[in-house]
Structure 1
């Protein structure tokens, strides 16, 4: 049994912000996973491990097949599901994926050894802020951030150094079941660090002329950022 996420689950990101009937329609109508991706998806559901939902899977298929990025960075490997999904749909990509959770690292190593048939994926073990400075600057075409939500704004300045001008950053679970639209007084005290971190992220990015930003109301929300200039100025207010 996988214990990590059963003990420390963030329930907010299991609350889709789109009408339930539409969510069900997307999840049942879009082409389903097959083979090892279906097996990994079933395992994650069974063990309560958060992975990207099926509508986001379909969106990533489209992104990968269209963009065909050469170099991908992922922060938050978990069991390796999304990295393997990206590899499957962009066979020429090289993927660097970062994970710090020991239990997830064990599962990711096993899954990548079995299913990364083209050896596209490099698993980097440890804290993101310790590993990011060692990665090459202006290198990545595509970044997927799916880790601690309060840390997105902490990681972003370093991530931006690693992304090429014109590169795309996709950040997952940014609506927290709709809580980000509320006043902080309405937020449970245990969730306020996440709330503050996400508000700082929005403040720094949504109207930043150095970035092109879009919010996608899919699952628990995606924030898409295009890096427009070499040196991005992130100005933030306090929350």
Structure 2
């Protein structure tokens, strides 16, 4: 049923431009995780509906999601952070190739340090997208909260992590610690007094946290 549903949704997605297909191919060939087509289209729809003027992305990878968010709202100013040097260089190149440097600023560095610096500089955002080291999600969220405007949203990707978080008996050594952290993060989000959070089974799981 799940496979049929995914295929059905894929068939009804909007068509994409050539540059999107090329970035998706690049990510696949280099084994770089990016949002799947259904997930990225959901994110783009959120951006279209909310029209955030300033977006902060934690985890740029090759610049794919930042460029798709720009596609959804060309008027938005996007700041994205990437720690990995190779991915940062790829993102810089991809953003430059599409001439989006005036709309997308990419910062090379550890997100925990960069977010703190953005806070010191009194930067604020209407939308924050977390898609980086999953074991650090709670810390990313905590550091990002002071940067979020009133009525803003924080979007967290991969919060169902391949469905593993649903299994209370999950014991696979390679992922157990990460799964435990994501499960704890979801519980923390659900009970946060300053946010209303909805977790949706889209892509690898997306949490939308609205600031009260």
Matched, 1:164 2:149: yes
Matched, 1:61 2:32: no
If asked which structure has higher relative contact order (CA below 8 Å, sep 6+), I would say: 1
Stretches of structure 1 that go unaligned for 5 or more consecutive residues are: 1-17, 229-239
The 1:57/1:202 distance shift into structure 2, 3 A limit, reads closer
Provide the rounded CA distance (Å) in 2 between the counterparts of 1:101 and 1:27: 31
* Aligned residue among 163, 181, 186 for 2:166: 181
Provide the rounded CA distance (Å) in 1 between the counterparts of 2:5 and 2:123: 39
* Aligned residue among 171, 174, 197 for 2:181: 197
Partner residue in 2 for 1:104: 87
Provide the rounded CA distance (Å) in 1 between the counterparts of 2:123 and 2:61: 25
Over residues 67-97 of structure 1, what are the superposed CA-to-partner deviations in whole Å (9 max), with x where a residue is unaligned? 1111100011010000001111211111110
Q: Which shows bigger deviation, 173-182 or 136-145? A: 136-145
Partner residue in 2 for 1:143: 128
Could you say what secondary structure the match of 2:174 adopts? helix
Could you say what secondary structure the match of 1:79 adopts? coil
How many residue pairs end up in the alignment?
A: 210
Structure 2 length-normalised TM: 0.93
The 1:86/1:106 distance shift into structure 2, 3 A limit, reads same
Contact preservation (8 Å) 1:76, 1:98: yes
The 1:117/1:138 distance shift into structure 2, 3 A limit, reads closer
Partner residue in 2 for 1:232: none
Provide the rounded CA distance (Å) in 1 between the counterparts of 2:165 and 2:5: 21
Provide the rounded CA distance (Å) in 1 between the counterparts of 2:8 and 2:203: 12
Structure 1 length-normalised TM: 0.83
Q: Give the 5 Å matches for 1:31-42.
A: 31-42=14-25
Contact preservation (8 Å) 1:166, 1:226: yes
1:40 shift after superposition? 0.8
* Aligned residue among 34, 43, 57 for 1:74: 57
Provide the rounded CA distance (Å) in 1 between the counterparts of 2:39 and 2:163: 18
Could you say what secondary structure the match of 1:223 adopts? strand
Partner residue in 2 for 1:208: 192
RMSD over aligned Cα atoms = 1.6
